[in-house]
Structure 1
């Protein structure tokens, strides 16, 4: 569990269209095997330290003739942002994906100085 030691708590959120591969025949729609799509997301303001980030699929458009396989994650989290990552594998065909995210953590105090 992360304990927050600051009375200034920030919450930021968003909803990102990660890809729309059916329009141009992209690899998530036409490919097979291990596939990954990654996008850097920047927070509206920097946190004091890396926040907790939760991600979830808010929309997906998939071909139901194959098994539905998906993994969505927040990786490389720092005070400024994180990498939003979607993975699939096998013969799964994903036309498009939108991912919602929320970040919560400590914000810097207005009189806090960074002397380093």
Structure 2
């Protein structure tokens, strides 16, 4: 269990990772391993790297192939993270929307930054 001292901050967001059907992109036309990374920046930095969860909130996948999807948060820092979406084999994905939530220690107005 991770415990936080002081105020807790929560930030959430939603983003379209790609719409490959619109321009015949690799997720829609390709085969084999494919990956998309999208950087997300927090509106306000956390004190330290927060806990981040990511989920698929919309997917548009071809019904003639198996649905294969892997989504995660990587490279998490106090300022942001990357959403990473992967698929493989013959899966054809038209588009994906991801929702995320970050929870961590927030700065307090009483915190002093002595340089």
For Structure 1 versus Structure 2, the TM-score category normalised by the shorter chain is over 0.9
> Normalising by structure 1, what TM-score?
0.95
Tell me, yes or no, if structure 1 residue 96 matches structure 2 residue 92: no
Q: C-alpha distance in 1, partners of 2:113/2:68?
A: 45
Q: Name 1:83's counterpart in structure 2.
A: 82
Tell me, yes or no, if structure 1 residue 3 matches structure 2 residue 3: yes
Q: Name 2:14's counterpart in structure 1.
A: 15
Deviations 1:71-114 (A, max 9, x none): 00000000011001100000000000000000011001223233
Query: Which residues in structure 2 correspond to 1:1-116 (within 5 Å)?
Result: 1-6=1-6, 8-115=7-114
- Residue 68 of structure 1 aligns to a residue in which SS? coil
- Residue 22 of structure 1 aligns to a residue in which SS? helix
Q: C-alpha distance in 2, partners of 1:34/1:93?
A: 11
Q: How many matched pairs?
A: 115
5+ residue gaps in structure 1?
none
> Normalising by structure 2, what TM-score?
0.96
Q: C-alpha distance in 1, partners of 2:25/2:45?
A: 33
Q: CA RMSD in A?
A: 1.0
5+ residue gaps in structure 2?
none
Tell me how far 1:64 sits from its aligned partner: 1.1
